[in-house]
Structure 1
Amino acid sequence: MCNVLVFRLKITMLRGILNLKYTHKMKTKYQLFLLVLLTCTLSFQGAVAQDKPVYKISGKIMDGESGETIPYAAAALLNAETMQNVAGAVADLDGEFIITGFKDGNYILQLSFLGYEAFTSKSIEVKPGNTEINLGEIKLQQEAMSLQEVTVQGQRQLIEEKVDRTIYNAENDKTTIGGDASDVLRRVPMLSVDLDGNVSMRGSSNILVLIDGKQSAIVANNIADALKQIPAEEIKSVEVITSPSAKYDAEGTGGVLNIITKKNNLQGASLNVNSSAGFRGSNLGLNASLKRGKMGWTLGGYGRAGYNILGSFENTQTLMTPDGSTALIRQAADTRNNMLFGRYNLGWDYELNKYNFLTASVSVGVRNMRNKQDGLFTETFIEDALVSALLRDVNVDNLSNNVDVNFNYTKTFDKAQKEFSVSGLYSRSNNNNDFVNSLYNGTFTDIISRVKNENLGINEEFTIQLDYVTPVGNTNSQILEYGAKNILRKATSDFAYFTAEGSTGEFQQVDDILFSNEFTYDQNVSAAYASYTLGLGNDYTLKGGLRYEYTTINADFRNSELPADIPSYGVFVPSFNVGKKLTNGNMIKAAYNRRIQRPSLQFLNPNINQANPQQQSQGNPLLDPELTDNYELGYSTFVGGSSLNFTSYFRNTTGSIQPVRTVSEEDVIFTSFENIGRERAVGFSIFSNINVSGKFSLNGSVDTYYAMLTNGLDNPMFAASNEGFVISGRLFGNYTLPKNWQIQAFTFARGRQVQLQGSAGGFGMYGMSINKQFNERRGSIGFGADNFFTREFRINNELITPTIMQQSTVGMRNMNFKINFSYRIGKLSVEGNRRKKRGVTNDDMKEGGEGAAGAMMNNNN
């Protein structure tokens, strides 16, 4: 019966896809198909299992010193003769694991978790009559780390799958050395990063990006810019949270992305130096730490330079002008980019006593990007007749700096998992985004005029946050979390236009409030949340929560008599997660949540951007937030020593912020923004982590979704809709050679992306590195290459409206060769007392860019 249903549903789905029409029936059949397929698969597995004895090995993993459980530790069952991986499992929040899915025979059990010495058991005999073996409590010893005498016990998996998130362990990927955070994120499942560093999750760019659980002002301004400030070597791991609980800010309709940087809880003193020098860029980093008794200090500094980054720009526009004629505009230019980034931080932590902890940090960053278009040549044709030919040089400077100051107090209790914390954050980001446009005369020999735009943007945030977590009752099967938060945010845009004659004439300010003004935007977000987690038996985990946020806004122009009247609003944000552990160690989970996306300064900024006179844009201070409902269904399993994860989802966004494009009398495309869009997406993703052998591993993923976009307008001159499939994928390989040599390779490809009025072209990237460790693994040296067979990437973008047809091509020469070097000095040992550190998590700006089973399957916040 199951086979018949699945076959019929597959045929129905195929017909719907071929018609490329998404209807309510198709959505229902798609969801029903997934449900039936999972049910039939599990039923089939159950039927097969009835004919054979089910062997089971279980146990509980504990900390050898504190006696606490170790959640999410990895358990692997190896053949005692061949030492090949046969089966595996991941411990729940109580440290309990169950391994099934193997035959009778002799086996070795291996347990591992970051910060602990690996455990290897004696031979375990499994045979009929001895089908269930409980090993009881198994205690792991914390790993002593001496950099003068290092012993490597094994390598953590590159990708880990947990019930509420996917974790990418970037520290195990050597192909990113010399890059920045955007290079790391291209390797993470479910994420897509374009060449400009703009990040999207499952096709949505409306995501919350946290750094160590906190969001600074620079991230709120522009995610792509912030990522360029973080060197890849500083990133420990990346967490992708597709269904955030009520504890997280309601912002980020696509989900939450948490970038975890490298920190330590080590006693002693250390200094780490790492550097990379390449054809396109270089970096130098220093990281020092000092820990004596209860007090610790960390000091880190990372600088990165990018140079020799050449490219090209081509653009063709066909416009229907207001008088009814047709205009054809062609543009072409060579591009040059240079950049200099730095990020520096000073951290302090102090253990008052067993239960009370203080942490504080100051972080500063700088970002200088200078982009040049040399010889931007523009030809304009009206009804096939050439009417003008203009030559310009365009210089765009994006110079910024930022500072974050954090202070956190955490109190723990004798009762496990009970915790209270208070966190504060002050963050400020200054961003000068200026350009100079120089126009040549008719013979293209001398500059006859110049236009300059100066735009100083300032984003300030002050946040206070309280969180309380406590188990309910005498077991760990119930957990209650609640808290409150307030964010005061002030954004300012001080902009002015200037004109000058010739190449040396003095600039004169334009006396027009549309071009020279100061805009202030004050926002206050007050929030409260409650979340409850319940574990039912050893199989089910339920987690539900509700968050309420109230937002007040004041906006004003310095040179305008009337302020922008923006009403206050409140929103309830529910979330619900359910997970079920299956008897064979597999897991199925489902989730629903509602999210809100407030517009960031780049959508609000009223400064008119005319860096390219043919394509001008202006923000809208009166924008409202977007609202999105997310539904998700996932299934994870183990096949031999490999893991597989399947996820399907549906996303519905109303009030989507979309561009509105018009053609001016000067044949210029002018872009503004309105809350006129509706976005829906039905998607499916699969990724796998494959252990080919103890020395060779592969992991990869494929993400695809069907996007449906409309702006909801009735006027045929402005109405727009689009739909289609978007596919992306990635593959990573790691091979360990004798004598401390290692080879890693990576490739990523993103297909054409569907947009409301056209599409963005696809592209691919790849890289390879080889590294050698020396001097008892204190140092390493290696060689890396990126895109070594591709001289230039070319991305073709398309824009289509009733009055506009535009095709543009952006080229970038991204071939790179680099030498990497790092060395560590010092002797460290792991501190015995492990504790969680909490902090502020601001997540509310739209960017243009198992107690028992499980009660705590969803409690890893």
Structure 2
Amino acid sequence: MKKILFLLLLFSISTFAQRPDSRENTSKITLTGKVIETSTKQPLEYATLVLTHVKTKRVLGGVTDLQGNFSIEAPKGVYDMKVEFIGFKTKPLPQKNLAENTNLGTIALSEDAEKLDEVEIIAEKSTVEIRLDKKIYNVGKDMTLKGGNASDVLDNVPSVNVDAEGAVSLRGNENVRILIDGKPSALVGLSGTDALRNLPADAIEKVEVITSPSARYDAEGTAGILNIILRKGKITGFNGSVNTTIGHPEQYAIGTNLNFRTKKINLFSNLGYRYRKGPGNSESFFTNFENGIIDNYRKEDRIFDRKSNNYNASIGLEYYLNQKSSITGTFFYRKSEDDDVATNYTEFFDANRTLTGNQTRIENEKEDGTDTQYSINYTNNIDDKGQKLTVDLQYSDSKQNEPALITVDGDLSEQNSQITNSTSKLLQLDYVLPIGKNSQLELGHKADLQDLHSDFKVRDGNGDPFDRDLSNAIDFRQDIYAFYAQFGSKINKFSYLFGLRSEITEIDLYLINEDLFNEKNYTKWFPTINFGYELNDNDNFTLGYAKRLRRPRHWFLNPFESRSSATNVFRGNPDLNPTYTSSYDLGYNTRISKFNLGASLYYQYSTDVIQRVSILEERNINGIETDVTVSQPLNLNDEQRYGFEFTSNFNPSKKVRLSASFNYFKFKTDAFTYVYTAPDGQQVTTPLNEVNESSWFARFNSRITLPAKIEWQTRVMYRGPQDDAQSSRKGMFITNLAFSKDLFKDKATLVLNVSDLFNTRKRENTTYLYEDNGDLKSINDGIFQWRERQISLNFTYRFNQKKKQERPNSGGGDGNGEEFSG
């Protein structure tokens, strides 16, 4: 069987071809060595070693790892050999009789100036790489993401969902840790959801889905980690691309990706501007009861009119100190200017549905935000055996100013403002020590220090405080010190990775207006275990265990109320404790002819689960006694979650490529009773029923080449219904459609993209609230749509870069040498 898998990470590509039939009883040897660049002596990652059996003409091979090393199994025999890397001259090696394990030593490749303009900047197709502790999804040439953002990218990754409000979940669990290039980043900023919407999809190279993280990674995130890898240039000379987007609802964007590299420096940058309107809407209908009998109704219709201007710029310089070490400095800047108007139409009805009153509440909130980040990376490849030291320093600063005016029935009712400043400092040290031929020890330390100050002022229309002062200010400090060690080894077809991480957490929360201080300090150990077994060349198993935690964020700890709505408010809980989770994951992956199939079974057990709980308080709003919904995060009882998922890829021909995924999960939480004392001294008791529910989601993607080389891509996703302790959510169906055409001798690409073709990306749910005697208190039927259907046209032009469609067959194998990669 012959297979060609094009794997391109930014400016490097390797090609996999036919493997020996695993049913043969031919004894094998292991071929090792290292590939470097002739001029700089830097290792070349993803260089390809191609072996051609002289008699059978079978082709096999593998690619190099981060340090340029390769390790390939091959049947004994006489082979022609060569080493390939895109943009470099192919280097033939002497014909060799491989009768025993052989080390080819260090192989140096020279750049080929004539081929440098044949680099394909975006992979021809999305691919999946399997590691011992993670799966890597290369974004590739996914047309449905053109003109999109990071949220759109994540929503197209198997196992990941992004709901109507932008909340990201992994296997149905929203407590997922999001990193940028392996570290916390100013790109995520103070509000991760909004930040992901402002990060363009074109800046993303790949996403790592880490469901069983090794000890190298932060313990934060009970569901796992999503690591977004950004594009960086690595090709000699000056090259780049320019892309523009226009769309409806109104959207304009322009961005550039520029890169200049010599033998001593690598200068790379991303610049962009985006203007966007984001219309959205929601509908809520409340049925309120008294002593089990309907007492009144309330209907709320909200219309969101958002305007956003975003500027982002990043520039980095990598300087090669010598043949083995380099230092990289990166500066990132983002400026956001938003103008959001939320209009809330409320109607009040009695038990007979007779209109008794109405209200129009308009909130006009402006947001002026600035994020900056400075980072320095030092990398020293100490020797040719893989010994390596990396040092990362990072400083981030985020500032947001959010004034808001609220009018009720045309009269100015409130003048609010929130000013938030946050700084973060990070130090990370990682050391890799190879032990013998197939073992590796890693040690590391990380210090992540955050300081935040938030001042929230609430005033009436005249600028005076309310009788009950709703203003607040907080100082929040969270320092995390981590130490880890992990050891990995490979014994024939069996691999393992054992790790232990310790994290010391110090949290201080000072409520300035109340002069209250809350402190939480704890030290915890987080073991990780990962196993891998290669049944044969096409089949492998993975098994992982990891202990994780979820720390409450500062907005979950701040006890003061939000003011976006008078009848639906949120407040934090300073008494929240972290959630701890033990995760188990069993995976299997196989290749059968033109199929690639993957399956996983997983189980998670969590203690002190954090979940939002809603209660009802009776308040006087403009002379009307109204039941106000107040939501607050709480530590509930323990939770068990388990499920399975399948992923598949099928390429019946060069013109048809299909992929699909399916995930089913079940979760169980014990019953819980919440007793709360309202501001008026009244005790409110809310019972939460036991939850023993399940849900599922599925995706299907097809990419078909039409006549005239027009490519048509369709992506369909369905998320099944789901219940929790207080609400029931309906299923949701989404379809994205795109058409692409290459122009100007493949130097440019035009993409027409329709996101949410049928305008069905809406969250529909029903929430039930009960009194302590079991009587029904309120039913809320709601529909929420954050963003309506989007149509966009994207044009990309590449200079000094050709979009090369094919490479010669270059062999295939799994000799990636990254069995222990973290």
Task: Tell me which interval the TM-score lies in, with the shorter structure as reference length.
Answer: 0.7 to 0.9
1:533 maps onto 2:488 in alignment: yes
Aligned to 2:820: 859
1:546 maps onto 2:483 in alignment: no
Call closer, same or farther: CA 1:679–1:619 in 2, change over 3 Å. Answer: same
Aligned to 2:601: 648
Aligned to 1:659: 612
Quote the RMSD (CA, aligned, Å).
Answer: 4.0
Q: CA deviation at 1:749?
A: 2.2
Aligned to 1:688: 648
CA distance in 2, matches of 1:659, 1:192: 19
Q: CA deviation at 1:816?
A: 2.9
1:336 maps onto 2:308 in alignment: no
The match for 1:224 among 193, 196, 204 is: 193
Greater helix percent: which structure?
A: 1
Q: Letter of the 2:473 partner, please give it.
A: E
Aligned to 2:795: 821
SS state at 2:153 partner = helix
Aligned to 1:753: 722
1:352 maps onto 2:326 in alignment: no
Q: Letter of the 2:598 partner, please give it.
A: N
1:166-181 aligned within 5 A: 166-181=135-150
Q: Letter of the 1:698 partner, please give it.
A: L
Q: CA deviation at 1:192?
A: 0.4
Q: CA deviation at 1:796?
A: 0.9
Q: CA deviation at 1:271?
A: 3.8
1:293 maps onto 2:263 in alignment: yes
- Decide whether the 8 Å contact of 2:82 with 2:90 is kept in 1: yes
1:441-590 aligned within 5 A: 447-472=410-435, 475-500=436-461, 506-510=462-466, 512-513=468-469, 515-536=470-491, 538-561=492-515, 563-590=516-543
SS state at 1:609 partner = coil
CA distance in 2, matches of 1:111, 1:194: 46
CA distance in 2, matches of 1:373, 1:108: 69
Aligned to 1:36: none
1:800 maps onto 2:744 in alignment: no
Q: CA deviation at 1:146?
A: 6.3
Q: Letter of the 2:765 partner, please give it.
A: N
Q: CA deviation at 1:55?
A: 6.7
CA distance in 2, matches of 1:590, 1:247: 17
Q: Letter of the 2:541 partner, please give it.
A: I
Q: Letter of the 1:699 partner, please give it.
A: S
Q: CA deviation at 1:675?
A: 1.6
Aligned to 1:597: 550
- Decide whether the 8 Å contact of 1:662 with 1:670 is kept in 2: yes
1:606 maps onto 2:559 in alignment: yes
SS state at 2:236 partner = strand
Call closer, same or farther: CA 1:220–1:89 in 2, change over 3 Å. Answer: farther
Aligned to 1:638: 591
Q: CA deviation at 1:582?
A: 0.8
Call closer, same or farther: CA 1:649–1:114 in 2, change over 3 Å. Answer: farther
- Decide whether the 8 Å contact of 1:687 with 1:702 is kept in 2: yes
The match for 2:662 among 696, 702, 709 is: 702
CA distance in 2, matches of 1:370, 1:777: 39
CA distance in 1, matches of 2:101, 2:593: 21
SS state at 1:568 partner = strand
Q: Letter of the 2:588 partner, please give it.
A: Y
Deviations 1:80-112 (A, max 9, x none): 9xx9xx999976966344589xxxxxx999998
- Decide whether the 8 Å contact of 1:325 with 1:383 is kept in 2: no
Q: CA deviation at 1:649?
A: 0.1
- Decide whether the 8 Å contact of 1:171 with 1:235 is kept in 2: no
Aligned to 2:205: 236
Greater strand percent: which structure?
A: 2
CA distance in 2, matches of 1:695, 1:99: 32
Aligned to 1:305: 275
Q: CA deviation at 1:347?
A: 0.9
CA distance in 2, matches of 1:77, 1:758: 59
SS state at 1:717 partner = strand
Identity of matched residues, %: 25
Call closer, same or farther: CA 1:350–1:857 in 2, change over 3 Å. Answer: closer
- Decide whether the 8 Å contact of 2:119 with 2:802 is kept in 1: no
1:765-780 aligned within 5 A: 765-780=734-749
- Decide whether the 8 Å contact of 2:73 with 2:815 is kept in 1: no
Q: CA deviation at 1:336?
A: 2.3
CA distance in 2, matches of 1:120, 1:728: 49
Q: CA deviation at 1:66?
A: 5.6
Call closer, same or farther: CA 1:76–1:65 in 2, change over 3 Å. Answer: closer
Instruction: Give unpaired runs (5+ residues) of structure 1.
Output: 1-48, 101-106, 122-131, 441-446, 501-505, 830-851
CA distance in 2, matches of 1:800, 1:550: 40
Compare 601-610 and 820-829 and name the one that shifted more. Answer: 820-829
Q: CA deviation at 1:718?
A: 2.5
CA distance in 2, matches of 1:232, 1:759: 32
SS state at 1:264 partner = coil
- Decide whether the 8 Å contact of 1:376 with 1:392 is kept in 2: yes
Q: CA deviation at 1:705?
A: 0.6
Call closer, same or farther: CA 1:742–1:697 in 2, change over 3 Å. Answer: same
Call closer, same or farther: CA 1:613–1:683 in 2, change over 3 Å. Answer: same
CA distance in 1, matches of 2:704, 2:548: 41
CA distance in 1, matches of 2:134, 2:800: 35
Call closer, same or farther: CA 1:743–1:61 in 2, change over 3 Å. Answer: farther
Compare 585-594 and 212-221 and name the one that shifted more. Answer: 212-221
Deviations 1:417-454 (A, max 9, x none): 211122111112223345433111xxxxxx23422332
Compare 625-634 and 709-718 and name the one that shifted more. Answer: 709-718
Q: Letter of the 1:282 partner, please give it.
A: Y
Deviations 1:357-397 (A, max 9, x none): 11111101133443333352232436866543222223344
1:258 maps onto 2:222 in alignment: no
Q: CA deviation at 1:579?
A: 0.8
Deviations 1:807-859 (A, max 9, x none): 11124663333222111234799xxxxxxxxxxxxxxxxxxxxxx99996542
Q: CA deviation at 1:603?
A: 1.1
CA distance in 1, matches of 2:400, 2:536: 55
Deviations 1:657-697 (A, max 9, x none): 12232211221011122222432211101101222123322
- Decide whether the 8 Å contact of 1:542 with 1:855 is kept in 2: no
Aligned to 2:130: 161
Compare 256-265 and 809-818 and name the one that shifted more. Answer: 809-818
Q: Letter of the 1:301 partner, please give it.
A: L
Compare 619-628 and 201-210 and name the one that shifted more. Answer: 619-628
Deviations 1:530-564 (A, max 9, x none): 1111222x111111111111112222122223x32
Aligned to 2:5: none
Q: Letter of the 1:465 partner, please give it.
A: Q
- Decide whether the 8 Å contact of 1:110 with 1:120 is kept in 2: yes
SS state at 1:219 partner = coil
CA distance in 1, matches of 2:328, 2:36: 24
Compare 724-733 and 65-74 and name the one that shifted more. Answer: 65-74
Q: CA deviation at 1:327?
A: 3.9
Aligned to 2:392: 423
1:277 maps onto 2:277 in alignment: no
Aligned to 2:806: none
Instruction: Give unpaired runs (5+ residues) of structure 2.
Output: 1-20, 94-98, 620-626, 676-684, 771-776, 804-812
TM-score of the superposition, structure 2-length normalised? Answer: 0.83
CA distance in 2, matches of 1:145, 1:251: 46
Call closer, same or farther: CA 1:524–1:480 in 2, change over 3 Å. Answer: same
SS state at 2:140 partner = helix
- Decide whether the 8 Å contact of 2:671 with 2:691 is kept in 1: no
SS state at 1:182 partner = helix
SS state at 2:151 partner = helix
1:679 maps onto 2:639 in alignment: yes
